Structure 1
Amino acid sequence: MLSFEYISDPESLAKLVAQYQQSELLVLDTEFVRTRTYYAKLGLIQAYDGKTLALIDPVALADLSAFWQLLSDTKITKLVHSCSEDLEVFARYGQCQPSPLFDSQIAATFSGLGHGLGYAKLVNTFLDIEIDKGESRTDWMKRPLTDAQLQYAANDVYYLYKLYPQLLAKIQQSNRMDWLLEEGERMTEGRLTPPDEEFAYLKVKNAFQLFPQQLAYLKVLATWRLQKALKKDSALGFIIKDHALIALAKKQPKTVIELNQLNDLTEHEKRFHGKELIKVLQTADLDNLPEAVDVIALKNGYKASFKEVKNILIQVAEQHDVAIEFIGSKRLIHEFLMWLYNKQPAEKPLLLKGWRAKLVKDALAAIKFS
């Protein structure tokens, strides 16, 4: 049984923060619940500096500002594992991002251990210990939490601290610490920026199918949905589904009767949002139409160029023992080809930035796509 402190009052939190401020390394993890909400609901924060393993209760503590300040303290390295969702939680509840950031999953990738290595596999690889994941479906907002749940949560930071020296040695041996910290900075970029209502329509699936006039309708619909989702803290799809927005933008019903004839909307969507959707559609700015969504993946030569770039990246990945999925995922290759197609604007794609550029820039120089 692991020993830990359960932090649920301001005095204990202040004492803990004072101790952590003296640390050079702080292991972090969060437990949260996300079902129908736009934002994850934070249920527990785990932290460990090698001396005190703390389970911090954000349900009981109204003010965690002192703890959140630790995340911005650049004297303390923050050790996490596969932290994308944790970063979202930190941004939402703490309006902060951890820096410097050491993600053990990325460190494993840079150390040639494979891409997307899970926490349990990492612990087993370095410590030869099998992690019990039996409490992974816990409702972390429910109180009181059981001993089994608390032990499960404590394990997530305890063993990560224990394996850190070996992982650190590997990343230092490969001279890739700069790469790792660069990835940490990249992962935190833009996390504190609120969702962009103006361009929410571009994230609607199949928006590329629409003509500019239809996009004008989709634009106001998507903005309305995002605003309502944020206000109600509801997942976008639980307000109204993407395919329903596309149908509304295509058909542009003028009355509730016309709207009710659309099979793409559920009865719930029609009943709860029908009148409001008609009003929203009437606000579309048809004098300033959005540009058509240009899908370069449908252009002649795209598939051939994509394959050429991928083959180059595979060779680079093998040469430097870094997973191809990490150097150049499908998304990054597409972003690079989009950059070429748009005549190389000032903002470079990720493939041509930082450590990736050092590996692939020269090899990609001859690629043409227009």
Structure 2
Amino acid sequence: MLSFEYISDPESLTKLVAQYQQSDLLVLDTEFVRTRTYYAKLGLIQAYDGKTLALIDPVALPDLSEFWTLLSDTKITKLVHSCSEDLEVFARYGQCQPSPLFDSQIAATLSGLGHGLGYAKLVNTFLEIEIDKGESRTDWMKRPLSDAQLQYAANDVYYLYKLYPQLVEKINQANRMEWLLEEGERMTEGRLTPPNEELAYLKIKNAFQLFPQQLAYLKVLATWRLKKALKKDSALGFIVKDHALIALAKKQPKTVVELNQLNDLTEHEKRFHGKDIIKVLQTADLDNLPEAVDVIALKNGYKSSFKEVKNILTLLSEEHEVAVEFIGSKRLIHEFLLWLHHKQPEDKPLLLKGWRGDIVKDALAGINFS
């Protein structure tokens, strides 16, 4: 059984933060719940500096401003594992991001150990310990938390601390510490920027099917939905689903009676949002239509260009012993081809930036797609 401090009062938090401020390394993890909400509900924060393992209760301590200052303290390396969702939590509750950031999953990838290794696999590989993941789907908002929950949470930072020296050795042997820290900076970029309500329509699946006039309707609908979701802290799909917004933009009902005849909306959506939807549709700016969504994946030559880039990256990944999915995922290849197509040399895609650019830019110089 691991020993830990359960932090649930301001005095204990102040003492803990003062100790952590003297540390060079702080291991972090969070436990949260997200079912029907837009934002994750933060249930627990785990932290460990090698001396004190703390489980911090954000339910009992709604003001964690002291703790959040640690994340931006550049004298302290923040160690996490597969931290994308943790970064979202830090942005939401702390309005901050960790710097410098050392992600153990990325360290494993850049060391040639494999792409996307889970925490349990990493612990087993280095420490030959089997981690019990039985509490991973538990309710972290309930109080009191059980002993099993607390031990599970403590394990997540305790063993990650034990892994750290071996990961540092591996990443230094590969001479890729700068790559790792660069990835940490990239992952935190833009996290504190609120979602753009005016561009929400571009994230709706199948928006490319619509003509500019229909997109004008989709634009106001998507903006309305996002605002309502943020205000109610509700998942977007629990307001109105994407396919229903597409149907509304195509058919543009003028009255609630017409809207109720649409099979694309649920009875719940019609009953709770019908009147609002009709009002929103009437606000569409038909004098300033959005541009048609340009889907380059449907253009001639896209598939062959994509395949050519993927083949080049595969060879480079073998040469540099880094998973091809990490050097150039499908999204990064698409972003690169989009950049080529629109000929915007000043706005380089991620594939051509930083350590990735150093590896691939010469090999990709001959790719043409327009």
TM-score range with shorter-chain normalisation? over 0.9
2:325 matched residue in structure 1:
325
Residue of structure 2 in register with 1:41 after alignment: 41
Q: Partners in 1 of 2:355 and 2:213 — Cα distance?
A: 42
1:259-298 matches, cutoff 5 A: 259-298=259-298
Counterpart secondary structure, 2:69: helix
TM-score under structure 2 length normalisation: 1.00
Partner amino acid, structure 2, of 1:45: I
What do residues 202-248 of structure 1 show as CA deviations (whole Å, max 9, x unaligned)?
A: 00110000000000000000000000000000000000000000000
1:344 Cα deviation after fit: 3.0
Separation (CA, whole Å) in 2 of partners of 1:346 and 1:277:
40
Cα distance in 2 for partners of 1:112, 1:154 equals: 28
SS of residue in 1 equivalent to 2:195: coil
Distance in 1, Cα, partners of 2:248 & 2:62: 42
Q: Which amino acid aligns with 2:160?
A: L
1:217 corresponds to which residue? 217
Q: Distance in 1 between matches of 2:228 and 2:78?
A: 35
SS for the counterpart of 1:337 is helix
Which residue in the other structure is 2:194 paired with? 194
Q: Tell me the amino acid that sits aligned with residue 146 of structure 2.
A: T
Matching of residue 305 in structure 1 with residue 305 in structure 2: yes
Partner of 2:28, secondary structure, is: strand
Q: Structure 1, residues 300-324: CA drift from partner, whole Å, max 9, x if none?
A: 0000000000000000000000000
Gaps of 5+ in 1: none
For residues 123-148 of structure 1, the C-alpha deviation after alignment (integer angstroms, 9 at most, x for no partner) is 00000000000111110000000111
Q: What is the match of residue 4 of structure 2?
A: 4
Distance 1:261 1:203 in 2: 26
User: What percentage of aligned pairs have identical amino acids?
Assistant: 89
SS state at 1:215 partner? helix
- TM-score with structure 1 setting the length: 1.00
Deviation at 1:62, TM superposition (A): 2.1
Secondary structure of the residue aligned to 2:217 is: helix
Paired position in structure 2 for 1:169:
169
Partner of residue 151, structure 1? 151
Give the 4+ runs in structure 1 shifted more than 3 A: none
1:369 aligns with 2:369: yes
Q: Which moved more, 1:338-347 or 1:227-236?
A: 338-347
Find the residue that maps to 2:70 and give its secondary structure. Answer: helix
Structure 1 residue 346, shift from structure 2 partner: 1.2
Counterpart CA distance in 1 for 2:270 and 2:62 is 39
Tell me which residue corresponds to 1:118.
118
1:367 deviation in Å?
0.2
Structure 2: runs of 5+ lacking an equivalent:
none
- Note the aligned Cα RMSD (angstroms): 0.4
Paired residue for 2:62?
62
Q: Secondary structure at the match of 1:6?
A: strand
Give per-residue Cα distances to partners, 1:236-266, cap 9 Å, x unaligned.
0000000000000000000011101111000
Residue 14 of structure 2 is aligned to residue 14 of structure 1: yes
Distance 1:191 1:24 in 2: 24
Q: Deviations over 1:39-77 (max 9, x none)?
A: 000000000000000000000002100100000000000
2:308 aligned counterpart, secondary structure: helix
Using the alignment, how far apart are the partners of 2:315 and 2:137 within structure 1? 40
Listed as ranges, the matches of 1:233-272 within 5 Å are 233-272=233-272
* SS in structure 2 of the partner of residue 274 of structure 1: helix
Amino acid at match of 1:241: K
Which secondary structure does the structure 2 equivalent of 1:129 belong to?
Answer: coil
The residue identity in structure 1 corresponding to 2:25 is L
Number of residue-to-residue matches in the alignment: 370
Task: Supply the distance in 2 between the matched residues of 1:324 and 1:113 (Cα, whole angstroms).
Answer: 13
1:181 pairs with 2:193 = no
Task: Tell me which residue corresponds to 1:106.
Answer: 106
How big is the shift at 1:345?
A: 3.6
Provide the residue aligned with 2:91 in structure 1.
91
